[in-house]
Amino acid sequence: MNLPARVRVTRPPLPLAPALQAAAARLCPDAPQTLSAAALAIAGGSVIGAHLRWDGGEAANVETGWRGRGIEEVLAQTVTG
């Protein structure tokens, strides 16, 4: 899947650094802080998407202006990776 040129998807080490945790919480406010996996989409230095997984659940969200560009699919593949 090709992403927009400015977007990269990463699977950061856990626990998330405070700035990444804050961005993930903004996108997926119902997710707990203790995660089993996380994938983040970053564009221009800002987190624009997150797919988070924890024991018993998961949540995913991409900022409105970035939806429908394949980011959701890449996040899902990356968090499973």
User: Using CA atoms, how far apart are residues 2 and 58, in angstroms rounded to an integer?
Assistant: 24
Question: Could you tell me the pTM of the whole model?
Answer: 0.94
pLDDT for the residue 53: 98
In whole angstroms, how far apart are CA 1 and each of 42, 67, 81?
16, 14, 15
Distance between first and last Cα of the chain: 15
Count of CA atoms in the C-beta half-sphere (13 A) of 54: 13
Q: Helix, strand or coil for residue 18?
A: helix
Note the pLDDT tens digit of each residue in 18-74: 999 999 999 999 999 999 999 999 999 999 999 999 999 999 999 999 999 999 999
Give the DSSP H/E element, type plus range, for residue 49. Answer: strand 46-54
